[in-house]
């Protein structure tokens, strides 16, 4: 099924946040009206983010502040993908290198984050890093405890250039211990959205992933079979899209032109 900017036949959309719905602290022009159009047409919408430094509650507060009231179950974070992976592996004793917000999400699912005999070292986007955390994690990695990361992003976009994200910490740990992660969750893993699509009982052909990143958002759409709609309001340029091998259904200037 081919789609155009009207997005006819789409019943659920997965929306990247930074670069797609907002840019830093400001809504993308027309994003609010776009969300109203989805709502009016009865299209379900989910907000996706690889940024594991914030908890769901923190995202809901940010969205509300920007005039987008959302429900808890509409926010899908790389942390959720990580939680599902930990549960599937039977891991509930971890040592977390991550923020307090991320720690609370893990603890709420019964996963210890300060274990003295961890089954895994869990790495999130830690904007509250300390040398003690780096040292303790290195000690466990030297001792053979496996490493799992919430997402692969090297940097978190910012107006002053990319800031160190999970991928940068992975480099630090590899240099220190020689250890690479056994698993990296989050986009572009199809597991970020396939669980929800299954729960909704939808066909992937009726779903779209809208985002500004080719190597996470569009790669995930490609791998999962949903329509990939690249918006040029963030990271990727039209040139990037033209030279990419990733399959996409559509390229739009921003969400402002969609679902009209």
Residue 155 binds a second copy (CB under 8 A): yes
Q: Is 238 a binder of a second copy (CB under 8 A)?
A: no
Residue 101 or 228: the one with the smaller Cβ distance to a second copy is 101
Exactly one of 172, 204, 241, 250 binds a second copy (CB under 8 A); which one? 172
Q: Helices 131-142 and 166-177 sit at what angle, rounded to 10 degrees?
A: 50
Q: Compute the distance between CA of residue 127 and CA of residue 253 in angstroms, rounded to an integer.
A: 31
- Rounded least distance, CB 95 to a second copy, Å: 13
Closer to a second copy at the Cβ: 64 or 130?
130
Tokens found for residue 126: 């830690």
Residue among 18, 25, 52 nearest 186 (CA):
52
Tell me the C-alpha distance between 121 and 138, whole Å.
9
User: Which of 6, 61, 109, 142 forms a contact with a second copy (CB under 8 A)?
Assistant: 142
Closest by alpha carbon to 45, among 74, 20, 22?
74
The candidate with the shortest Cα–Cα distance to 76, out of 107, 44, 33, is 44
Closest to a second copy by CB, 64 or 135: 135
Shortest distance (Å) from residue 120 CB to a second copy: 17
- What six digits make up the tokens of 147? 């490493």
Which of 89, 92, 93, 164 binds a second copy (CB under 8 A)? It is 164
Nearer to a second copy, 155 or 182 (CB): 155
Does position 58 interact with a second copy (CB under 8 A)? The reply is: no
Judged by CB, which is closer to a second copy: 165, or 212? 165
**Contact between 175 and a second copy per CB under 8 A:** yes
3-state secondary structure of 159: coil
CA dist., res. 88 & res. 66, Å (int): 35
With binding defined as CB under 8 A, does residue 100 bind a second copy? no
């Amino acid at each position: 099924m081919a789609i155009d900017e009207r997005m006819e036949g789409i019943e659920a959309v997965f929306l990247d946040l930074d670069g797609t719905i907002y840019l830093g602290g400001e809504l993308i022009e027309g994003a609010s009206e776009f969300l109203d159009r989805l709502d009016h047409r009865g299209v379900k919408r989910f907000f996706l983010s690889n940024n594991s430094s914030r908890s769901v509650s923190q995202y809901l507060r940010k969205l509300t502040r920007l005039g987008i009231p959302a429900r808890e179950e509409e926010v899908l974070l790389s942390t959720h993908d990580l939680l599902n992976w930990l549960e599937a592996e039977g891991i509930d004793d971890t040592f977390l290198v991550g923020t307090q917000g991320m720690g609370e999400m893990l603890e709420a699912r019964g996963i210890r984050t300060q274990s003295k005999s961890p089954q895994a070292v869990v790495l999130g986007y830690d904007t509250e890093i300390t040398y003690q955390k780096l040292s303790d994690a290195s000690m466990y990695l030297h001792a053979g405890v496996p490493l799992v990361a919430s997402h692969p992003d090297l940097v978190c976009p910012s107006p002053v250039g990319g800031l160190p994200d999970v991928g940068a910490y992975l480099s630090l740990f590899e240099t220190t211990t020689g250890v690479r992660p056994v698993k990296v969750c989050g986009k572009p893993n199809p597991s970020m959205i396939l669980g929800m699509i299954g729960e909704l009982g939808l066909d992937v052909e009726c779903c779209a992933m809208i985002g500004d990143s080719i190597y996470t958002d569009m790669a995930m759409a490609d791998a999962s079979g949903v329509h990939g709609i690249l918006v040029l309001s963030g990271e990727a340029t039209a040139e990037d899209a033209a030279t990419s091998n990733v399959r996409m259904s559509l390229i739009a200037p921003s969400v402002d032109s969609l679902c009209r």
